[in-house]
Amino acid sequence: MAESSRSHGPDGSVRSGISRRTFLKHGGTSAVGAALLEAGAAQAAVDSSMQDGANEVLGPGPIPIDLTINGRRVPVQAEPATTLVDILRNHLGLTGTKIGCDRGACSACTVWLDGQPASSCMTLALDARGRSITTIEGLADGDNLHPVQQAFVEHDALQCGFCTPGMVMSCAALINRKPDAGIEDVKAAISGHLCRCGTYPNIFAAVLAVASENRRRGT
């Protein structure tokens, strides 16, 4: 899978003729991936950045990016166009986060940014600066699995397991946010996730078991 197959070259230029350098002057506007930016929108970004001469110029070569991953400060050197999933997997060897589509359509790459699920294939590493990043590797507390991980194991909420890290991250975020989640909450939480093996019913059962345990304990 192209982990960084954006429509730009290694020299930082994009094919539309707008240089990534100019684009990034904008300072990482949002989590929207460059791949999905229509040419018009890119032009608008350029126009607005032109008026804003005070913005710093980043790239096109590698720049230092400071990230906080699983509670640890992690400085990396990467081109500004690098996605968060590329950093996690290819710079840091955190391969638990998967890629299923590389365009925001399958949620296999889900991590947390400040506790909220986000598609790391659609997030520039730059935009994750200053935020607390949690990956599947950082979810368990040492050897103690997160209750959602434990429930996935017990309810066999996985087959090939390739979608599982992403599923776990979204379900764990749901339980953290809403400890007594119901079935509709679970369906909504993973509605953007694809599982080709068809583990959905067992995922529902796993998360609902955690929720009912939470209800029983009054959390």
Q: Give residues in contact with other proteins (CB under 8 A).
A: 1-6, 9-10, 89-90, 93-106, 108, 135-137, 139-140, 145, 149, 152-154, 156, 158-165, 168, 186-188, 190-204
Q: Least distance to ligand FES from the beta carbon of 105, Å?
A: 5
**What is the spatial distance between Cα 52 and Cα 23, in angstroms, rounded to a whole number?**
12
**What is the spatial distance between Cα 111 and Cα 104, in angstroms, rounded to a whole number?**
13
Q: Which residue is it, tokens 């953290």?
A: 176
Confirm if 169 and 139 have CB atoms less than 8 A apart: yes
Q: Reduced to 3 states, what is the DSSP secondary structure of residue 155?
A: coil
Q: Least distance to ligand FES from the beta carbon of 46, Å?
A: 26
| Residue 44 in contact with ligand FES, rule: CB under 6 A | no
Q: Is the CB of 78 or the CB of 163 nearer to ligand FES? A: 163
| Residue 133 in contact with ligand FES, rule: CB under 6 A | no
Residue 121 contact, options other proteins, ligand FES, none, Cβ 5-8 Å cut-off depending on partner type: ligand FES
**What is the spatial distance between Cα 32 and Cα 6, in angstroms, rounded to a whole number?**
12
State the sign of the Cα–Cα–Cα–Cα dihedral 206, 212, 218, 219.
Answer: positive
| Residue 97 in contact with ligand FES, rule: CB under 6 A | no
Q: Reduced to 3 states, what is the DSSP secondary structure of residue 75?
A: strand
Q: Is the CB of 187 or the CB of 215 nearer to ligand FES? A: 187
Q: Least distance to ligand FES from the beta carbon of 197, Å?
A: 3
| Residue 169 in contact with ligand FES, rule: CB under 6 A | no
Q: Is the CB of 194 or the CB of 209 nearer to ligand FES? A: 194
Residue 66 contact, options other proteins, ligand FES, none, Cβ 5-8 Å cut-off depending on partner type: none
Residue 77 contact, options other proteins, ligand FES, none, Cβ 5-8 Å cut-off depending on partner type: none
**What is the spatial distance between Cα 179 and Cα 133, in angstroms, rounded to a whole number?**
21
Pairing state of beta strands 132-134 and 116-119? unpaired
**What is the spatial distance between Cα 159 and Cα 7, in angstroms, rounded to a whole number?**
34
Q: Classify residue 144 by its DSSP letter.
A: B
Which listed range, 65-73, 107-115, 130-138, 144-152, lies at the site for ligand FES (CB under 6 A)?
107-115
